A and B are shown apart, each in its own frame.
Chain A
Amino acid sequence: MEPAEAEFLAEQELVTIVPSFSMDRVHLIGGDLGPFNPGLPVEVPVWLAINLKQRQKCRLVPPEWMDVEKLEEMRDQERKEDTFTPMPSPYYMELTKLLLNYASDNIPKADEIRTLVKDTWDTRMAKLRLSADSFVRQQEAHAKLDNLTLMEINTIGTFLTQALDHMYKLRTNLQPAHSSQSQDF
């Protein structure tokens, strides 16, 4: 899976906007989009929020986790723990990129937020690599990692599965050779 596909899946997440137009309830196949009244906050999927913002028809309200103190706390906790801490959203990386690219004027301290999220990402990737290395070194049969997000899995996925494939094949070499299948008539 590519990062663009993960971003597509992330766009389904809900975010709050304050529209500047009015419209009745819209019925779409995926669900309803509630009535829009100017000045009243309403929850919509990110894809619609970005679209409306680009047409200058709304103002985005940053999600409550996208706040400098909360992100600092999250980053420090991530650095302290050896395992992965739960992330405020399973798509935190994609949402950060989308919201900060298209709506940075609605989000206070956008640059600091970007840096904090990047720091957390780097810490998590380092932990992931450490875990992959110990997995390979001890030749475990399976591992369980909680609280990983799709983007992180994608970035390391191809490499890790190929390496584990090779390791598996080399490991079956250790078994005593199968009896040769010759046919003697």
Chain B
Amino acid sequence: MSEAYFPVGPGLGPEENFLSLDDILMSQEKLPGRAESSLPRLAFALGQGAAGGSGDSIPEGSKLEIPMWLAKGLHDSKRRIISVELPKIYKEAWRTVFSADANVVDLHKMGPYYYSFGSQLLNFDNPENPEIAQTILQTFISRFRRIMDSSQNAYNEDTSMLVARLDELERALFRAGQKGLNDFQCWEKGQASQITVSSLVQNYGKRKFTDMDG
């Protein structure tokens, strides 16, 4: 209860949390897809600028990289406008890597929002959805132990090596674990009863008296 700011977490289900910064950043990640029908005058928006000789319409069947927010909006069950494919880390090959040993994968490089993005992918009808959902859950469970151990045992160390391979969701968990540890250690040393500057006010800087008059 000493926190002044409670960030809204990512909604990990079929719907994103509107107010979550993590979800907003996540929905900017790109998906591979194809245009199912010709899209007039959208070449500049979808990055096909120089290629289309006929100016600015996207021909049918051309490959696109679309951000998730656009893909969700343009997708409908009759699939007239675009069709999406799974990015490669959610495909069969990588799924077997995750089920073999999830701890070795560098989830930060693979797309820093593996879990949230994967949950959003389940919105598109795809016969592999149950396997994708299962893989995401199992990956989280296998990596949980390592996050717990490293966050609860690394006191006063440089943690950049430990968090380098974690995705954003896991990093938030790591920070929570670190906070628990730091609070306990700080209490044990007796620093808990010292009054410190609140983090919200620390950056204000000191203004000279004369500045306020001018």
Residue numbers of A with Cβ under 8 A of B are: 1-4, 7, 97, 101, 125, 129, 132-133, 136-137, 139, 151, 154-159, 162-163, 165-167, 169-174, 177-178, 180
Contacts and interface: CB of A to CB of B under 8 A. Distances in A.
Contacts of B190: 101
A162 B176 contact: yes
B176 A2 contact: no
Contacts of A97: 187-188
Given A151-B184, A173-B137, A177-B129, 10 more contacts: A1-B1, A3-B184, A3-B188, A7-B187, A136-B144, A155-B184, A163-B173, A166-B115, A170-B140, A177-B123
A162 B172 contact: yes
A3 B134 CA distance: 38
Nearest to B172: A162
Interface in B139-194: 140-141, 144-145, 147-149, 151-152, 169, 172-173, 176-177, 179-181, 183-184, 186-188, 190, 192-193
B145 A4 contact: no
Count class of interface residues, chain B: 35 or more
Interface string B124-144: 000001100110110011001
Given A151-B184, A166-B169, A158 B13 contact: no
A165 B176 CA distance: 13
B67 interface: no
A139 B141 contact: yes
B31 to A, nearest CB: 18
Given A159-B152, A159-B173, A166-B173, A173 B193 contact: no
Given A166-B115, A170-B140, A2 B192 contact: yes
Given A2-B2, A177-B122, A166 B12 contact: yes
Contact of B137 (A2, A7, A170): A170
Contacts of A158: 176-177, 179-180
B14 A177 contact: yes
Given A154-B180, A167-B141, A173-B13, A159 B133 contact: no
25 contacts: A3-B186, A3-B192, A132-B148, A133-B144, A155-B181, A156-B177, A158-B176, A158-B177, A159-B180, A162-B173, A162-B176, A163-B148, A163-B173, A166-B12, A167-B137, A167-B140, A169-B12, A169-B119, A170-B115, A170-B119, A170-B136, A173-B14, A173-B136, A173-B137, A174-B134
B152 A156 contact: yes
B32 interface: no
Closest 7 CB pairs of A and B: A3-B187, A169-B12, A159-B177, A173-B133, A4-B192, A159-B176, A170-B137
A182 to B, nearest CB: 9
Contacts of A177: 14, 122-123, 129
B111 interface: no
Contacts of B12: 166, 169-170, 173
Contacts of B9: 165
A2 B183 contact: yes
Nearest to A173: B133
Contact of B13 (A125, A137, A172): A172
